[in-house]
């Protein structure tokens, strides 16, 4: 009996190993803006002007993190959730929660407004549409940072990475123009080369 030495190279997909591109969602094409955003801009065009400066991201510093977390907490705490049907008598209406009540889009608009007031670039504060299990569509505010895409959500207290939330992501505003919306897709899983050496295989004998 002789020993055979065999080396196999395997490509592993879906490994838990982290890679830089896993921190960011992919933009995969253009899509129509949400109807609520279009109507919101018709009512107040000044809120929807594109920033002429190049797209940018927010630096992931402790100071910025604390401000983002504080704004998320304050808005979530101070607004009472109420559907547009109950408040306005219509299925969908985007507005600032001036009366202290609103639905998910109103939370997002208020967080966006407060962060712009505090000097955060509007190109990095992107209204994002997700699919909420059992409840249809849902809006969150996506924060584009140099450490990845983070989410401010009225359903969660903390500041979360996009892949720490339970949502399938559908679309968001473009960093170039808030009136241009793009489809979203998760990044592909990393590919890892793994070499496996198999020893001690008996050689086949013919009878």
Position 200 scores a pLDDT of 57
Distance CA 20, CA 24 (A): 8
Q: Would you kindly state where each structural domain of the chain is located, as residue ranges? A: 3-202
The residue count of the chain comes to 207
What tens digit of pLDDT does each residue of 79-121 get?
A: 999 999 999 999 999 999 999 999 999 999 999 999 999 999 9
What tens digit of pLDDT does each residue of 110-133 get?
A: 999 999 999 999 999 999 999 987
pTM more than 0.85: no
**pLDDT level of residue 188 (50, 70, 90 thresholds):** confident
- Tell me the fold of 3-202: C8orf32 fold (3.10.620)
- 107, 74 in Cβ contact below 8 A? no
Closest C-alpha among 47, 37, 33 to residue 182: 33
* DSSP structure class, residue 132: E
What tens digit of pLDDT does each residue of 2-14 get?
A: 444 444 444 444 4
Show the CA angle centred on residue 150, arms to residues 125 and 45, nearest 5°. Answer: 15
Q: CA neighbours within 13 Å on the CB side: how many for 192?
A: 13
- 68, 159 in Cβ contact below 8 A? yes
What tens digit of pLDDT does each residue of 39-64 get?
A: 999 999 999 999 998 999 999 999 99
Which structure tokens are listed for 47? 């809120």
For residue 11, list its beta bridge partners. 193
């Amino acid at each position: 009996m002789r020993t055979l030495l065999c080396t196999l190279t395997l490509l592993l997909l879906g490994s838990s190993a982290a890679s830089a591109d896993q921190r960011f969602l992919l933009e995969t094409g253009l899509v129509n803006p949400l109807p609520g955003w279009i109507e919101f801009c018709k009512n107040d065009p000044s809120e929807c002007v594109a920033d002429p400066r190049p797209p940018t991201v927010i630096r992931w510093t402790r100071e910025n993190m604390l401000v983002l977390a504080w704004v998320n907490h304050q808005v979530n705490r101070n607004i009472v959730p109420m559907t547009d049907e109950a408040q306005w008598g219509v299925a969908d209406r985007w507005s600032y929660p001036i009366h202290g009540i609103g639905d998910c889009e109103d939370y997002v608009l208020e967080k966006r407004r407060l962060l712009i007031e505090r000097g955060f670039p509007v190109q990095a504060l992107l209204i994002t549409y997700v699919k909420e299990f059992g409840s249809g569509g849902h809006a969150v505010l996506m924060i584009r940072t140099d450490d990845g895409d983070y989410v401010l959500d009225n359903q969660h207290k903390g500041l979360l990475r996009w892949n720490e939330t339970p949502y399938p992501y559908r679309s968001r505003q473009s960093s170039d123009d808030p009136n241009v919306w793009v489809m979203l897709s998760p990044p592909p899983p990393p590919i890892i080369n793994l070499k496996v050496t198999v020893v001690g295989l008996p050689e086949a004998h013919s009878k």
